[in-house]
Amino acid sequence: MRIFTAYTRPKSPPVLVREGFSWGAFIFGPLWLLANRAWNATVLSVCAYVLIALLPLGGFNPLCGFALSFLLGLFGRDIRRWSLERGGYVLAHVVAAPNADIALARLLERRPDLIGEVMA
- Whole-number Å distance between alpha carbons of 25 and 11: 28
For residues 51-58, average pLDDT: 88
pLDDT of 116 > 70? The answer is: yes
Burial class (CB in 10 A: 0-12, 13-18, 19+), 103: buried
Q: pLDDT grade, residue 90 (50/70/90)? A: very high
Strand order in the sheet with 12-18: 12-18, 2-9, 90-97
This prediction's pTM: 0.86
Residues 20-58: b if buried by 16+ CB within 10 A, e if exposed: eebebbbebbbebbbebebeebbeebeebbeebeeeeee
